[in-house]
A and B are shown apart, each in its own frame.
Chain A
Amino acid sequence: MKPQRSLEVGTGLFVLLGFAALFFLTTQLPGSGLQFRAESGYRVTAKFDNIGDLKAGSPVSMAGVRVGRVEGVAFDPNDYRAVVTLRIDAQYDRIPDDSDASVQTQGLLGGKYIGIGPGGSDSFLKDGGQIEFTQPAIVLESLVNKFFANFASKGSDGKDAQSQPAEAEGK
């Protein structure tokens, strides 16, 4: 009877270990994975001209500290802007209602996130509120285009005036 019992204990341990590993992988590893506690916090919306590749689940931060996350991204067909729903953690309930939100980039090539800069108002953002002042995402390509446009127009005043216009036309 003894070996039979140690076999069953061994199998039980193995199965438990396996399921513990599976549980960890499915719940702890993905930030947006299964969550057993209900989402807390309050919702605010903000409208942006351009949100780049901001997605649901992206962080919302103030002064570099994560205070919530993006819950949803939608398009408003009336004024052709993106409506972003933010869920701010309940403990951060003292954000002034004239704060501004901007779409920012983590590092040079990292993902987008929303940065909130505090305003000076005495009243605070509440559930269902809206952030009025927003700044759209900076699109790297348009910056580069602008830079080259400046460069080309400066270059055409310079001494190698023959070569630069040809390059500008080529674009």
Chain B
Amino acid sequence: MMFEPIQRIGRVGVFFGRLLVQCGPALLRPRAVVHQIFNAGARSLIIIMLCGLFVGMVLGLQGFDLLQRFGSEDALGVAAALGLLKELGPVVTALLFAGRAGTSLTSEIGLMRATDQLTAMEIMAVDPLRHVVAPRFLGGLIAMPLLVAIFNLVGLFGAQLIGVQLMGVDPGAFWSQMQSAVELDDVSEGIVKSVCFGIACSLIAVYEGYNAEPTAAGVGLATTRTVVISSVLTLLIDYMLTAAFLGR
């Protein structure tokens, strides 16, 4: 009883290992992976871009309000770029991904489990991990960094919209200070984070779906758990990665 949480973590780890073994064969059938990239990525595009725009605009407003107190509103570009690239882009995208793509992955696989489709595949000696779960995992994993990059770009545009067009920050200072302050390390930190979040969110989504209790209530519960665990895990990993990158 006391070992239940530890056992759970172990189960996820074993599942992850088995999934990784099946990822290679799954890549040999790229059509299924492409389909899942479409589901997880292209279909999340609108919500990601919309949220990126508003996050960037809020960043522009708040950053301008804060920076003008020190008379350094020219640094708005730096503040917005670093904030988006290093933190807001990966984290907000991962949270949205958990809500938009993660839930649909879980309920889809969970419903397959509940209607015995997965069991049927097993009986026919077709490995559901390879044919159902691995393409979905890979699709989420590939889609996440691309979504983060798009989120960042739209967010920068939003910050620029508010800062330069509305508040009157000098556009030259906005972009040039940003370019001189942002290092390649900052960009790659964001990319590393987005890949880690992609692994974590996709893994949790497919795990919860695959191991859902085969009832209507069980699938609902699994979907809820996906959002909760993915969100908490995202923020937890974010803290650890930030600490690791700052400590270098």
Binding site for B on A (CB under 8 A): 7-8, 10-11, 13-15, 17-19, 21-22, 24-26, 28-34, 57, 59, 107, 109, 111
Q: Could you name 18 residue pairs across A and B whose Cβ atoms are closer than 8 Å?
A: A7-B35, A10-B42, A11-B34, A11-B35, A14-B37, A14-B42, A15-B41, A15-B142, A18-B41, A18-B145, A24-B153, A25-B149, A25-B152, A28-B179, A30-B179, A30-B184, A32-B184, A34-B184
The answer on a CB contact under 8 Å between B187 and A21 is no
Ranked nearest first, the 3 interchain pairs of A and B with the lowest CB-CB distance are A18-B146, A21-B149, A14-B42
Instruction: Determine chain B's interface SS by DSSP, over half rule.
Output: helix
Q: How far is the CB of A34 from chain B (nearest CB, A)?
A: 7
Assuming A10-B42, A29-B178, is B149 touching A22 (CB within 8 A)?
Answer: yes
* B94 adjacent to chain A (CB < 8 Å): no
Residue-wise interface mask of B (185-206) relative to A, using a CB-CB cutoff of 8 A (1 in contact, 0 not): 0111011000000000000000
Tell me, in angstroms, the Cα distance from A30 to B176 when the chains sit together.
10
Name A17's closest neighbour in chain B (CB-CB).
B150
Residues B146 and A7 in contact, CB atoms below 8 Å apart: no
A119 to B58, CA, bound (A): 49
Inter-chain contact A31/B191, CB cutoff 8 Å: no
Contact assessment for A31 and B81 in the assembled complex, using a CB-CB cutoff below 8 Å:
no
For chain B, residues 29 to 69, give those with C-beta under 8 angstroms from any C-beta of chain A.
34-35, 37-38, 41-42, 45
Residues of the A chain whose Cβ atoms lie less than 8 Å from the Cβ of B178? 29
Q: Is B162 an interface residue (CB 8 A)?
A: no
Known contacts A22-B145, A25-B152; decide if A14 and B184 are in contact (CB<8 Å): no
Q: Is the pair B146, A26 in contact by a Cβ cutoff of 8 Å?
A: no
In the complex, chain B residues 124-151 whose Cβ is within 8 Å of any chain A Cβ: 142-143, 145-147, 149-150
